[in-house]
Amino acid sequence: MQTIERNGNALAYIHAPGKGPTIVFLPGYASDMSGSKAVAIDTWARETGRACLRFDYAGCGESGGAFADQTLESWRDDALAVIDAATAGPLVLVGSSMGGWIMLLTALARPERVVAMVGIAAAPDFTDWGFTPEQKAVIQAEGCLREPSIYSPEPTVTTRRFCESGEANRLLGAPIDIPVPARLIHGQRDPDVPWEHSLTLAGLLRSDDVQTILVKDGDHRLSRPQDIALILKVIEDLSAAS
């Protein structure tokens, strides 16, 4: 594991050198590079000699910083900083949930480098559609929303600063000028991100080479062996063609 410094925080990352475009895994909200999908992609990349990068946003996993101090923009900039420091050449971005939003923002910021994208239950604009009016009122009034998580013993914390950053970076209201091949994988039993959002995203991306892959019995995490096998096959096919 290596680190770089950004804004006083040590950002942790693991880079496996190899052939082809570098596969960059972008974790979801409050997630990190030790998740099953990230580890599976890293393992597959090493076994096949592919270049791969996984990392933790500030305030997450092995990286420094306080989680509550982070915003969507700061995590986007974390991703760009690690990518710029650790890699060279073309990139295949793989974004899980909120990581799918950061995937899009990263592709817009580095259009000369990104050659393909894979969204896994991608959740762009979730600060808009992901909360009820009552939850939004709590965030605005109290500056923070804490909710039980089905994925962690710790509550999920959403701050007003994060939501304001998200609202300033919404993408689903207009065509998205990313012309590269994209694959959007989504479980139709996802309780957190409606699968229809992947269809909306597919329609907005400027590329004609976009496929939405629906897993009828898939949940939000898509971490079962058959889900991971599908994700790896999609990454392999896109990487070979890039």
**Residues 77 and 6: beta-carbon distance below 8 Å:** yes
Rounded to an integer, what distance in angstroms lies between the CA atom of residue 182 and that of residue 184?
Answer: 7
Q: CA-CA-CA-CA torsion for 208, 105, 35, 123, nearest 10 degrees? A: -70
Give dist(CA 48, CA 163) in Å, integer: 39
CB burial readout 39-61, b (16+ within 10 A) else e: ebbbebbeeeebbbbbbbbbbbb
- Cα distance between residue 193 and residue 47, in whole Å: 32
Q: What is the Cα–Cα distance from 219 to 201, expressed in whole angstroms?
A: 19
Return d(Cα 177, Cα 171) in angstroms, integer.
10
Catalytic positions: 97, 190, 220
Q: Which of 62, 71, 83, 63 is nearest to 29 (CA)?
A: 71
Q: How far apart are CA 51 and CA 190, in angstroms?
A: 30
Give the separation between CA 205 and CA 114, rounded to whole angstroms.
Answer: 14
